[in-house]
A and B are shown apart, each in its own frame.
Chain A
Amino acid sequence: MAQRNFLLFAAVGLLFVLTGILMSWNVSLQILNIGVLSAIMALGVNMQWGYAGLFSTGIMGSVALGGLAVVLVSSQPNPENWAAGGPQLLMSLALGVAVIAAAIIAAQKMALGRARNFTIAAILILGFFAYRYFFDQASLAIETINPENAGNLGGLGLPSYIAWIVGALMAAAAAWVIGKTALGLRSDYLAIATLGIAEITLAVMKNEDWLARGVKNVIKLPRPGVPYEVDLQQAPWFLSFANNIGADPITASTIFVKLVYLVLFGAVLLGLIWLSERALHSPWGRMMRAIRDNEDAARAMGKNVKARHLQIFILGAAVVGLAGAMLTSMEGQLTPGNYSPLRFTFLIWVMVIVGGSGNNLGSVLGGLLIAWLWLIVENAGPVIMSYATYFLPDGGLKSHLVESAAQLRLLTLGVILLVVLRFSPKGLIPEK
């Protein structure tokens, strides 16, 4: 078994080596870094699915919240924008939360009946207008100052590592809301509700300019202690290092930076695997698996299935949020337009299923393999398609097929998912 796993990982490693040799090491490492982050996301999803059988389609939402956290925590503050409306905006948000809390309290404390419904509706409606009154003033004030370069509240200027933790917490908070509502109902409801929260998260990020500049994007986010290429190219120690290994300093610096990221992300990945393996083999993990394998029996034994599901759902989302934050830190910018459910929700699912649900190593393997496939088809797809259409006459159809070859990856991944699900439903590395 261990030998088989080793071979599988070696095979995936070989893919990256070949990419490095045939294309370039920069591309290969770039894909590998994204692969490691995808593996962390897959790990989080695997907690939800493999340990608890929860099917969530809101992974993109967690990733995006992680990215948002990076802007809110690690970007530089915009004091003028903050002065213009920051406190009032926070106050209005607090008011919004208070309104919802009041409605919930009313729902819980009052006796069923018309008076209760009326009170709840009144609280929500009046609360909404009050909230909008303060909120609109504040957000307008913030957005009108320096819209070209800022126009948002800006961040706290704290280290990226704190942003990652905040990202995990924000994703966890969103998961808590969804889990509270949709867990314990039919499993499809969770899938539908999570699809919704992800879309809303994205809508907020695209439209609330005061928060993170919306579709105008936030750029120049700080790196998590990783050196910049331009600095390396100036540093004497690096120049002599590059000279010693006989490499061009510019190429060497880009590769060096990617390697630093790789070590950093790899360490996080290994740490998470270690933690989750520990958890899985603790009494808690055994209980989770018992619940997954037979919910009714576990319930009969007095286990609170819904509460346990909520726990694991939140944990999984937090891990995904963490990876989302790391991704944004690495890219150095937040581009809400880039988040798509196909890329950040369903692709992660393909990774988990192909790798082997319920198995952490499987998720990592699936993450690396599918990320490679996804990114390589993007590059190699048009080439393959031009060979495939070699016999077609030049013209509209041929050029259309070659141009849309990038879409081939959707098709390919769909087929891979279906084939694995049917012929090898336990994935490449089955659960022990």
Chain B
Amino acid sequence: MDILNALVAFLNFVFVPAFGYGCQLALGALGVTLIFAVLRFSSFAHGDTMAFGTVMAIGFTYVLQANGITFGPLPTALLALPFAILCTALMLLGTDRLVYRFYRKKRVDPIIVTIASVGVMFVMNGINRLIPWGGVEEINFADGSRFLMEAAAFKEMTGLKEGLAIKTTTAVTVVTAALCVAALFWFLQKTRTGKSMRAFSDNEDLALLSGINPERVVQVTWIIVAALATIAGVLYGLDKSYRPFVYFQLLLPIFSAAVVGGLGSPLGAIAGGFVIAFSEVMVTYAWKKVAGYLFPADWLGDGLLQLLSTDYKVAVSFAILLLVLLVKPTGLFKGK
């Protein structure tokens, strides 16, 4: 029995990665859930919105780097974020003007708007791949120092056999996500505009009667979604890497997170993000190492103690999604 080493191994291989990934999913799911709450449709273009924001951030990162501007130990992409968010916001507002506004005025069945978002997805997917510095290949744009804490340093410090490494990008993810969420909730709970968004989401007709301008609410929503999607995309890309197809595939865990939490509920989106991330990592992690510290070797046999191979990550989000739909379709935090 070596509980300390087991714990460190658990933290290093399960908790830290899952927590970072959970933050990224939560930010993505927040975007989906806000679109759903205010505009009342599920946006299939959200993965590509994240990709667009990330490509923009990569572009600005290159510009900054070319001018010799970096962010010290932190990734330069963080400095590029505001510009990238601005581009994404303009793009989303433009999309709304060209596509979604028409359906909103006509008050069509939300599923039609969802299908329109598939068209938007196609277009954005194409644009992302056509952007000169984007393309279809993997891009790694994280710079600055790689680790906040290296495994070797941790071992030396504690004298344990297991090391605990914390990547700079993971730390950046957690801090940025926490700031974003705090800012978002402050905005929704305390400001007049934020409250009007909630009111519009709650009861559109009554919001109109109260003199809330729907177009303004929608615009503010798109701007917030742009910020969330860009930040989520950039954090994911820093932590792993950017690739349009991977971002497109993030759609499923993000949707699952939003549904698990309850579509339309911001708090739920965050909880859902962590539920999905931790399940994915825990179900596909080979527990042999952690178990090796806790139990005698001859108990364990020679299996990896891995419930599912990592290729089945997608199955995990999906299984949780199905379970929630079966047991509690409104999600953990009562969505719509």
Q: List the interface of chain A (C-beta within 8 A of B).
A: 53, 55, 57, 128, 132, 136, 181-182, 185-189, 191-193, 195-197, 199-200, 203, 206-207, 341-342, 346, 349-350, 353, 396-397, 400-401, 404, 407-415, 417-418, 421-422, 425
Q: Is the CB of A411 within 8 A of B318?
A: no
Q: Are B120 and A418 in contact (CB under 8 A)?
A: yes
Q: Chain B nearest CB: distance from A351 CB in Å?
A: 13
Pairs of residues from A and B, 5 with the lowest C-beta to C-beta distance, nearest first: A414-B122, A411-B126, A414-B123, A196-B318, A410-B126
> Would you mind naming 22 contact pairs between A and B with Cβ atoms under 8 Å apart?
A57-B118, A186-B263, A187-B111, A188-B36, A188-B114, A189-B325, A191-B44, A193-B321, A196-B314, A197-B318, A200-B312, A207-B311, A346-B118, A350-B119, A350-B122, A400-B135, A404-B135, A407-B125, A407-B130, A414-B121, A417-B122, A418-B123
Q: Are A414 and B126 within 8 A (Cβ)?
A: yes
Total A-B Cβ pairs within 8 A: 143
Nearest A-chain residue to B43, judged by Cβ: A188
CB pair A199 B311 closer than 8 Å: no
Given A203-B314, A410-B126: A421 in contact with B119 (beta carbons within 8 A) = yes
User: How far, in Å, is A199 (CB) from chain B's closest CB?
Assistant: 5
Interface positions of B from 116 to 140, Cβ below 8 Å from A: 116, 118-127, 129-130, 132, 135-136
A347 nearest CB neighbor, chain B only:
B122
Contact yes or no, B116 A200, CB < 8 A: no
- Taking CB as reference atom, which chain B residue is nearest A415? B123
Do B115 and A55 touch (CB < 8 A)? yes
Least Cβ distance of A56 to chain B in Å? 11
Report yes or no: A196 in contact with B321, Cβ–Cβ below 8 A: yes
Is residue B247 within 8 Å, beta carbon to beta carbon, of the partner chain?
no
Residue in B102, B124, B259, B309 whose CB lies within 8 Å of A207: B309
Interface size on B, residues (CB 8 A): 51
Closest Cβ of chain A: how far from B45's Cβ, in Å? 9
B220 at the interface (CB under 8 A from A): no
Assess whether B318 is in contact with A188, with CB atoms less than 8 Å apart: no
The reply to whether A192 and B317 contact each other, CB–CB distance below 8 Å, is no
Given contacts A192-B42, A203-B312, contact A185 B129 (CB under 8 A): no
Alpha-carbon separation in the docked complex, A186 to B311 (Å): 29
Q: How far is the CA of A410 from the CA of B245 in the complex (A)?
A: 13
Query: Could you list which residues of chain B lie within 8 angstroms of chain A, going by C-beta atoms?
Result: 36, 41-42, 44, 99, 102, 109-112, 114-116, 118-127, 129-130, 132, 135-136, 248-249, 251-252, 255-256, 259, 263, 303, 307, 309, 311-312, 314-315, 317-318, 321-322, 325-326, 329, 336
- Closest chain A CB from B237 CB (angstroms): 19
Whether the pair B326, A411 counts as a contact (CB closer than 8 A) is no
Residues of A within 8 A of B263 (CB): 186, 188
With contacts A191-B114, A414-B121 known, what are 11 further pairs, Cβ within 8 A? Answer: A57-B44, A181-B326, A189-B325, A189-B329, A191-B42, A192-B255, A199-B252, A207-B309, A207-B311, A407-B126, A418-B120
Q: Say what secondary structure dominates the interface of chain A.
A: helix
Measured between beta carbons, the chain B residues less than 8 angstroms from A53 are 111
Q: Are the C-beta atoms of A410 and B122 separated by less than 8 Å?
A: yes
* B136:A404 contact, CB within 8 angstroms: yes
CB distance from B290 to the nearest CB of A (A): 17
Q: Give the interface centre of A185, A193, A196, A353 by most chain B CB atoms within 10 Å.
A: A196
Q: Across the interface, name the chain B residue whose C-beta is closest to A400.
A: B132
Complex interface: chain A residues within 8 A of B315 (CB): 200, 203
- Assembled-state Cα–Cα distance A417/B114 (Å): 12
Closest to B253 in A: A196
Distance to closest chain B CB from A364 (angstroms)? 20
Cβ A404 vs Cβ B130 within 8 A: yes
Please give the distance in Å from B138's CB to the nearest CB on chain A: 15
Contact of A199 among B123, B318, B322 (CB under 8 A): B318
Q: Across the interface, name the chain A residue whose C-beta is closest to B122.
A: A414
- Shortest beta-carbon distance from B262 to chain A in Å: 12
List chain B residues, Cβ under 8 A from A415.
119, 123
- Is the beta-carbon distance between B44 and A182 smaller than 8 angstroms? no
Instruction: Indicate if the CB atoms of B99 and A418 lie closer than 8 Å.
Output: yes
From the candidates A128, A196, A421, name the one contacting B115 in the complex (CB within 8 A).
Answer: A421
A196-B314, A197-B318 given; A185·B130 CB < 8 A? no
Task: Determine the distance from Cα of A188 to Cα of B262 in the docked complex, in whole angstroms.
Answer: 13
B118 touches A199 (CB 8 A): no
Contact status A407-B129, CB under 8 Å: yes
C-alpha gap A350/B251 in the complex (Å): 20
Contact of B256 among A55, A196, A197, A203 (CB under 8 A): A196
CB-defined contacts of A418 to chain B, threshold 8 Å: 99, 116, 119-120, 123
A411 and B127: CB pair below 8 A? yes
